[in-house]
Amino acid sequence: MLRATLLVTSVIGLAACGNSGAGVDELDSDDDGFSNSVDACPNEPETVNGVFDTDGCPDTPQGFYDVVRLDVEAWWTVLLTGQPFPYRPISEFVAYTTPVDTPCGVVESNSASYCTTSEGIYYDSKFLQFFLDEVGDLAPAFIIAHEIGHHVSNIFGFEAPSVISVKELELQADCFGGAWVASAGARGVLQPAAQGETLDALILAGDPAATWFRPDLHGTSDDRLTAFIVGTLQGTPSCTSPSFFALFAPPSE
Ligand SMILES: [Ca+2]
Ligand SMILES: [Ca+2]
Ligand SMILES: [Zn+2]
């Protein structure tokens, strides 16, 4: 577990080279990493996200989620261009604060979910805010990438009943999410993992809280970390291969 965590941390550490920070000698009055010369808000520290935009002004969490969604979808679009199953965008990306009705039923509080019927994603904004505040920006970004990963599984035909198990779908979404995190890190579009922003927390983030901790549905933490690491190191094709599923114990009955 520890070795695996370190491995992934080093992958995400690649993002550090893309951070737009102040030079060593430049004045940064609000100490947000943007020197006054490039900071449109030199006395209001940038929060939420310092890499997707470079103005130095505080961003809204919603704006951050929207940018993550667009980046993940643009990334998939490029990856699947010319492939047998080209990417098609999700139909909607809906924030809620109290449970709302969707074509897949009423969504739960403190969750994020993908609905195959509508091909939409629904998330409790308090749920993402919790991870943003307590873990860091990588956590809600990963949750969004994981949910879009379910959409890609659907495009590929894995969501059809009894193609692969619910647990395998979850691990595949973790793998797809990991592949995006690695890509975002390499492209410098995601703030480097802050101290204390651990992969364990990432792996625990997302989907209905009531079922998240059930290893029979989602895999154990070790399974999820393994799936994430495979995605970060080997990219999306590895997430659909028989050797990927062979890494995990079959779902318990
Ligand atoms: Ca600044
Ligand atoms: Ca900004
Ligand atoms: Zn999921």
User: Given a cut of 50, is residue 173 above it in pLDDT?
Assistant: yes
Please give the distance of CA 151 from its chain centroid, rounded to a whole number. 13
197 in Cβ contact with 136 (< 8 Å): yes
H-helix or E-strand spanning residue 169: helix 166-187
Cα–ligand 3 centroid distance for 210 (angstroms): 12
Q: Which ligand is nearest to the CA of 137?
A: 2
Cα–ligand 3 centroid distance for 131 (angstroms): 16
User: Given a cut of 60, is residue 210 above it in pLDDT?
Assistant: no
The per-residue DSSP string of 120-140 comes to EEEEEHHHHHHHHHHT-THHH
Q: Which ligand is nearest to the CA of 61?
A: 2
Q: Which ligand is nearest to the CA of 37?
A: 1
**Which letter does DSSP use for residue 22 in this model?**
-
Mean pLDDT of the chain: 81
- The residue with greater pLDDT, 106 or 54, is 106
User: Given a cut of 50, is residue 96 above it in pLDDT?
Assistant: yes
Identify the pLDDT of residue 248. Answer: 86
212 in Cβ contact with 108 (< 8 Å): no
Cα–ligand 1 centroid distance for 36 (angstroms): 5
Q: Which ligand is nearest to the CA of 26?
A: 1
* Weakest-pLDDT range from 54-63, 142-151, 202-211: 202-211
* Weakest-pLDDT range from 76-80, 144-148, 172-176, 218-222: 218-222
Cα–ligand 2 centroid distance for 178 (angstroms): 25
Identify the pLDDT of residue 108. Answer: 86
Give the Cα separation of 86 and 69 in Å (integer). Answer: 17
**Confidence at 211, pLDDT banded by 50, 70, 90:** low
Cα–ligand 3 centroid distance for 207 (angstroms): 5
Q: Which ligand is nearest to the CA of 147?
A: 3
User: Given a cut of 50, is residue 21 above it in pLDDT?
Assistant: no
Cα–ligand 3 centroid distance for 66 (angstroms): 19
Q: Which ligand is nearest to the CA of 191?
A: 2
- The residue with greater pLDDT, 147 or 22, is 147
User: Given a cut of 80, is residue 204 above it in pLDDT?
Assistant: no
Cα–ligand 2 centroid distance for 66 (angstroms): 13
Identify the pLDDT of residue 2. Answer: 30
User: Given a cut of 80, is residue 124 above it in pLDDT?
Assistant: yes
- The residue with greater pLDDT, 113 or 217, is 113
Identify the pLDDT of residue 251. Answer: 52
Structure tokens at 239: 């997430």
Q: Which ligand is nearest to the CA of 34?
A: 1
pLDDT tens for each residue of 143-168: 999 999 999 999 999 987 778 888 89
Residues with CB under 5 A from ligand 1 (ion): 28, 30, 32, 34, 39
Identify the pLDDT of residue 203. Answer: 53
Q: Which ligand is nearest to the CA of 29?
A: 1
